[in-house]
Amino acid sequence: MQLAVFLDRDGVINKTKIRCGKPCPPVNISQLEIIPGVKQSLNALHDAGYLIIVITNQPDVSRGKALKVDVDLINDFLMKHLSIDEVRTCFHDDIDKCECRKPLPGNILNAAKKFDINLSQSFMVGDRWRDVEAGISAGCKTIFIDYKYNEKQPSGWDFKVSSLSEAADLILGIGDTNEKY
């Protein structure tokens, strides 16, 4: 079985714009800005043998605030320029009750089936409660990047960090993996 690091996209890989204390994704490729250190962190994780799978909710498409083609262009750019094995996108909103929309674990479970991933030895890294809850539901170890957003917080997590770089160090055994937050 393979090991994976599942990552949220916005706020973990690329910068978001904060509005009313909440993160908002880029609406097109011209707004895309990779967070410093992300490329190096993904390379190190990939070189260590982890599959890198992005699990992202993009409900602004169903809400009419973003175009699917723009989300696809952003995802394609990330796949081309970063060590990412796959991007799984849910375009639905909560009202659709879709199994692939985080906090439900559908996209993680489907990726695990496709790639024969050992979920209990894999990680879900995210900056919002939905990411962490999806990881918990899927049986992954969870790492919460806490940006102190003005919104609901996860009910629990395995580790709390301040960046993907710090999460990668933890996963690779460079950081302090004995301390649970």
Q: Which of 10, 60, 70, 131 is catalytic?
A: 10
60 is catalytic: no
10 is catalytic: yes
> Taking Cα atoms as reference points, which of 125, 120, 1, 109 lies closest to residue 52?
125
Q: How far is residue 78's CA from residue 180's CA, in Å, rounded to a whole number? A: 31
> Taking Cα atoms as reference points, which of 92, 87, 107, 154 lies closest to residue 126?
154
Q: How far is residue 71's CA from residue 68's CA, in Å, rounded to a whole number? A: 5
- Assess contact for 142 and 159: CB atoms under 8 A: yes
**Residue 145 in 3-state DSSP?**
strand
Catalytic residues: 8, 10
